[in-house]
Amino acid sequence: MLEDRVIIRASWLKQFLYVLLLGVVLFVNYVVPDSSAKENFAKRPIFGLLIFFILLSLFIYFLFEIIKRRPEIVITAQGLELRNSGYFEWESILSFETIEYRSRESNSEALILHLDGMKEVEHDISILEINRFELVDLLLKYKGTFQVVFDGHNTK
């Protein structure tokens, strides 16, 4: 028997590492007395302040994300809710796939929903607490008798 719903959140560890990295960068560049970055920022104070506020904003954002722990994906027998995209009933989903985007700098993963009317919804799943294979298993279990097709794990 399936649970009423499954709530999938962003990985606490990944977000903590973002906060830690940003904290270290802020500390080294703006607090350490003999930082070479301080000399560069002294020459260009507006640029230094801009970078400081961007890093501080990211630090605060990820810190609040850790505290709030809002769901990224909610899966039920009736449908699927994506954090920034809304709710989709199984009847409106024709198929779905996962895509791994590879580059030299970083890799990211996305869930693509193919909807009625040739619409597509893409949701980043790189930071989830489960991997894309576990996510697909959950989606296939919860779709029930609806004719939702899994198009596979693809790489671009």
pLDDT of residue 136: 92
Backbone angles phi, psi at 33, to 5 degrees: -65, -40
pLDDT at 31 over 90: no
Mean pLDDT of 15-39: 79
pLDDT at 109 over 70: yes
End-to-end CA distance of the chain: give it in Å, rounded.
36
For a pLDDT cut of 70, what percent of the chain falls above it? 94
Residue with the two structure tokens 């991997």: 131
Least confident of 1-5, 101-105, 148-152: 1-5
pLDDT of residue 9: 92
Mean pLDDT for all residues in the chain:
86
Side by side, which strands form the sheet with 79-82? Answer: 5-9, 71-76, 79-82, 86-89
3-state SS class at 35: coil
Quickly state the pLDDT bin for 114 (edges 50, 70, 90).
Answer: very high
Mean pLDDT of 50-76: 89
Helix spans in the chain (H) = 12-30, 36-43, 45-68, 132-142
Please report, for the chain, the start and end positions of each structural domain, with discontinuous segments joined by +. 9-68, 73-155
